[in-house]
Amino acid sequence: MKSTLKKICFFLPLLIIASCSSDDGADKDEEKPTITINYNEGFPQACAELVRGETYNFKAMVTDNQALASYSLDIHHNFNQHTHDDQVGECVLDEIKTAVNPLVFIKNYSIENGPKSYEISISVTIPDDIDTGDYHCAYSITDETGWQTRTSIDIKIVE
């Protein structure tokens, strides 16, 4: 009896440990989503000039190998000539200046039903009273597992 009890005490924990696994058989998502503005409707393209008071449709195509979850659009001034490591294109920049009334547009959006591809389309009116000059337009996309990709484009807001 002691021998059987010893075997049970030895093999039962091994059986329990062997039956536990952190891998539920699902494929692990190890790919970041992608963003592109390099297609006919993609907007804005690098070095685009946007006129104050006008409305523009900001568009980018995003894809993921499994499922997209959310995206954001961030438009902020570049009066200090900073850069982003993911910057698309190089444009001629104005002199460094101090912001007085810059445009700041930051909005987050959800993507319903987790598609693998999606076209971002956001209508933005450039206010009449904001500072003109150099700006960045930054798109960000996040997939359902939390991978994120972003891209920034130099734009200029003019009179």
Residue 24 lies in a domain: no
- In what helix (H) or strand (E) does residue 5 lie, and over which residues does it extend? helix 2-19
Question: Which pLDDT score is estimated for 84?
Answer: 82
Residue 2 lies in a domain: no
Residue 23 lies in a domain: no
Domain count, the chain: 1
Residue 109 lies in a domain: yes
Residue 7 lies in a domain: no
Distance, in Å, from the CA atom of 108 to the CA atom of 103, rounded to the nearest integer, reads 17
Residue 78 lies in a domain: yes
Q: Count Cα neighbours of 146 within 13 Å in the Cβ-side half-sphere.
A: 1
Helix (H, G, I), strand (E, B) or coil at 111: coil
Question: Which pLDDT score is estimated for 2?
Answer: 63
Q: Which residues pair with 50 in a beta bridge?
A: 157
Q: Which of 159, 96, 95 is nearest to 129 (CA)?
A: 159
Question: Which pLDDT score is estimated for 90?
Answer: 80
Q: Which of 129, 128, 137, 142 is nearest to 58 (CA)?
A: 137
Residue 14 lies in a domain: no
Low-confidence ranges of the chain (pLDDT < 50): none
Cα separation values, 99 from 31, 57, 103, 106, Å: 38, 25, 9, 17
pTM of the model: 0.81
Q: Residue 89 belongs to a domain with what CATH number?
A: 2.60.40.2550
- Which range of residues forms the domain containing residue 87? 31-158
